[in-house]
Chain A
Amino acid sequence: MRTDRLIELLAHDAGPAPRALAARRLSAVALVGLPVSTVLALAAIGAIPAPMFATHVPWMKLAYGAALACAAAWLTARLSRPAAPAGSAWRATATVVAAMAAVGAASFASEPPGARVAALLGHSWLGCPASVLALSLPGLAVALWAVRGLAPTRPALAGFAAGLFAGAVGACGYALACVETSPAFVAAWYTLGMLATGALGAALGPRVLRW
């Protein structure tokens, strides 16, 4: 086929370009990932006691997860567009993590010295990152599907951003089943679980995000 014939083929009745393509595809991550991770967390671990919703505990975790999900979704969208600068989105993502780290550090410092390590480790520090990662896997599959339909030119970075986004969504589900109360715990172990999901996305990116 000659190139002018291909151009004819592509242009004929092509219609307008799809609008808000990245937003539509990436919103599926939250629409699928949030209910799935919530149901899995409640089924596998069980819901936190209802009175806890009157405290700041679940809301702090949900706010962190939601804020990081927004920042990481933005970052994913930027990295899925050829030639789009992603600096602001990286800074927003780092700011959310740094803000939680600051709150966690302040809470850590305000504990009496003897109780600090106990507050940081809680009773589930080992299981928390693994649970967040596991609950994020359905969202990660959707996120990689979403990015695959866009045009990431740096697949490892795009995979990382997609994983971080899925991890933040999964962490929101886990928050409904996690009874840990310390901000230091959230800043350390939730973050680790979300970063692990990001790392998995980065590892899968170069294989999965080819186009």
Chain B
Amino acid sequence: MTTDAGPGDLESSLKPLWSRAQAGDEVAYRTCLSLLAARLRAYLGRRLSSHPDEVEDLVQETLLALHLQRGTHDPSLTVSAWVVAIARHKLVDHWRRTGRRGGRHESLDDVDEGLLAVDDEDRGASRDLEKLLRVLPDAQRRAIVLTKLDGLSVAEAASRTGASESAIKVQVHRGLRRLAALVRGEHAS
């Protein structure tokens, strides 16, 4: 884990990339998510230091939320503030679901609020999203597997399944939303 550039520097490198990603640039979007994953891992790792096994799960959950909620980012907001607000929300939600309050080692301190540090080491998630995918309704699962895991374009997936392109997109979005709900429900059950 290294502490490098401050939040201002992160924002100045992230903002143009994020704008391109929001406009539909897939490469820029992938780069943004990778960059943010390393920051989130460090951010969440500091707050879950007594439960290191849960960090990667929460990183993935936050990335899924960022993706599903990317329509709520307003260009007038700083990207990092928006990301931190979502990560914080997911962390508080995680504590509530697991019946824990932020303890001595897990505090939502206001001082160290930014995505300052980078942690590139994926220690592996304990939950397997691929297994959860199998629980999704057929149409949603097929749309996600074809377009996301098999790497077909939306147009190719549409012609293969006979559904329209917009129907495929809707099924992918609904499936990912469902996946996020399943991830949240896991703790409760």
| Interface set of A (CB-CB < 8 Å, partner B) | 1-4, 6-19, 21-22, 80-84, 150-151, 153, 210-211
Instruction: Report 8 cross-chain contacts, Cβ distance below 8 Å, ordered by A residue.
Output: A3-B56, A10-B64, A14-B24, A15-B169, A80-B72, A150-B69, A151-B72, A153-B89
Q: Are B154 and A13 in contact (CB under 8 A)?
A: yes
Q: What residues on A are CB-neighbors of B93 within 8 Å? A: 210
- Which of B125, B180, B184 sits near A3, CB closer than 8 Å? B125
Contact of A6 among B77, B85, B88, B129 (CB under 8 A): B129
Interface residues of B (CB under 8 A from A): 21-24, 26, 29-30, 33-34, 37, 56, 59-60, 63-65, 67, 69-74, 77-78, 81-82, 84-86, 88-89, 93, 122, 124-125, 128-130, 144, 147-149, 151, 153-154, 169, 176, 180, 184
- Interchain nearest-CB distance for A16 vs B (Å): 4
Q: Is the CB of B64 within 8 A of A84?
A: no
Q: Measured between alpha carbons, how far is A2 from B120 in the docked complex, in Å?
A: 12
A11-B147 CB under 8 A given contacts A2-B125, A81-B74, A81-B77: no
User: Cα distance A13–B65 when bound, in Å?
Assistant: 17
A3–B144 CA distance with the chains assembled, in angstroms: 17
Contact partner, B148, options A4, A9, A81, A84, Cβ 8 Å: A9
Cα–Cα, bound, A21→B74 (Å): 10
Of A4, A9, A151, the contact of B69 (CB 8 Å cutoff)? A151
How far is B122's CA from A141's CA once the two chains are assembled, in angstroms? 41
B67 lies within 8 A of A14 (CB): yes
